[in-house]
């Protein structure tokens, strides 16, 4: 499994989320059909495989924490700070008032992955259809919780049960959690967003993790012919969606012929994912999407440039691994 398509797969998944959000934020109906939910599930599955594999290969907790921190946080910090600064330039009053008007809460909440506490900045995007600065960040707090859970699951509980059985057990617990939370939502009127948090999303992470332990060689490239339509037909059915997306990710990653991403491009997937939402919002705010072709083109070029620069000047400097084996 040394030669795989994870790099190109992550870029495609990130781009899918990018254009789906453009459809929603800029009101482009065609782009609204991009399957962002499937793409996010795919990201969680990819993470499950790569993060668990990385930890099992080197379970030194210090090394693990450093690698996870430098992979995700520096660029995350920069994007949060960038939005904070851009928003201040659009604010009508003093910096003191800006901080007291919600900007300080935004900084603190978002720096600690609690973006749900302060998703917006004062006087920023208020005329847009949605005022959230970066609606993609909800997945990152879940990703961080995945990171925290891996040493607990595979560094402690696997003393008592083998990794394969443990992975299946955690997946089953996640399924039970999903349906129990669904029951609470229906009975007590809780927010349905509760079922898009760690307990339920852990199933997708564990499906990726199982790639490290199970023999899935029965999956063939020609299975994509009927697998892709099924992905769309059953995208709202929790267990079926998880299994189908898992099979799709496995086939793309391991079965079809490897597609190399040029080192001149690099792994721009995280950059695309974390930059696209505020960039679209900015272009919507300044009216560039009044002509959807101009808005689409400018957003695509800007996100591509920001993601490429982020990889070459920030991310690659902090990830001390060869590009083609990076986790």
Which two tokens mark 268?
A: 């721009």
Neighbour tally for 182: CB within 10 Å: 16
15-66 pLDDT tens trace: 999 999 999 999 999 999 999 999 999 999 999 999 999 999 999 999 999 9
Residues 6+ apart with CB under 8 A from 7: 260, 261, 267, 269, 323, 324
Residues 6+ apart with CB under 8 A from 65: none
Cα-trace Rg, the chain: 20
For a pLDDT cut of 90, what percent of the chain falls above it?
94
H helices present in the chain, as ranges = 6-26, 29-32, 36-57, 61-89, 95-98, 104-111, 138-155, 163-188, 198-210, 224-233, 238-250, 269-285, 292-310, 316-318
Q: Alpha carbon of 8 to those of 16, 80, 257, 267: distances in Å?
A: 12, 26, 12, 8
80-90 pLDDT tens trace: 999 999 999 99
Query: Cβ(52)–Cβ(107) under 8 Å?
Result: no
Q: What pLDDT shows up at residue 192?
A: 87
Q: What pLDDT shows up at residue 2?
A: 53
First-residue to last-residue Cα distance in the chain:
14
Mean pLDDT of 185-204: 92
pLDDT at 321 over 70: no
Q: How confident is the model at residue 3 (pLDDT cuts 50, 70, 90)?
A: confident
Query: Cβ(161)–Cβ(134) under 8 Å?
Result: no
100-153 pLDDT tens trace: 999 999 999 999 999 999 999 999 999 999 999 999 999 999 999 999 999 999
Domain residues of the chain, as ranges? 6-325
Q: What single DSSP character describes residue 290?
A: G
- Which residue has tokens 């190399």? 260
């Amino acid at each position: 499994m040394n030669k795989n398509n994870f790099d190109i797969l992550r870029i495609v998944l990130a781009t899918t989320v990018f254009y789906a959000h453009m459809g929603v934020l800029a009101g482009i109906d065609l782009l609204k059909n991009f399957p962002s939910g499937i793409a996010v599930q795919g990201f969680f599955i990819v993470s499950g495989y790569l993060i668990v594999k990385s930890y099992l290969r080197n379970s030194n907790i210090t090394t693990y924490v450093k690698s996870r921190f430098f992979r995700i946080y520096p660029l995350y910090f920069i994007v949060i700070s960038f939005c904070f600064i851009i928003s201040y330039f659009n604010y009508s009053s003093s910096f003191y008032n800006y901080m007291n008007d919600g900007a300080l809460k935004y900084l603190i909440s978002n720096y600690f992955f609690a973006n749900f506490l302060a998703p917006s900045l004062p006087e920023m995007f208020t005329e847009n259809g949605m005022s959230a600065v970066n609606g993609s960040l909800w997945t990152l707090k879940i990703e961080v919780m995945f990171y925290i859970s891996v040493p607990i699951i595979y560094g402690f509980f696997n003393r008592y049960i083998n990794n394969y059985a443990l992975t299946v057990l955690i997946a089953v617990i996640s399924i039970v959690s999903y349906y129990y939370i669904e029951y609470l939502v229906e009975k007590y009127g809780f927010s349905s967003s509760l079922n898009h948090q760690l307990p339920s999303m852990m199933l997708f992470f564990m499906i990726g993790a199982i790639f490290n332990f199970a023999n899935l060689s029965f999956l063939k490239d020609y299975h994509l012919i009927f697998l892709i339509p099924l992905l769309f037909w059953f995208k709202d059915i929790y267990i079926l969606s998880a299994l189908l997306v898992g099979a799709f990710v496995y086939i793309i990653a391991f079965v079809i012929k490897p597609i190399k991403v040029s080192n001149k491009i690099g792994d721009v997937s995280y950059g695309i994912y974390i930059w696209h939402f505020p960039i679209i919002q900015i272009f919507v705010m300044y009216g560039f999407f009044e002509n959807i072709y101009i808005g689409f083109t400018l957003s695509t070029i800007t996100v591509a440039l920001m993601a490429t620069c982020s990889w070459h000047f920030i991310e690659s400097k902090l990830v001390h691994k060869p590009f083609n084996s990076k986790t």
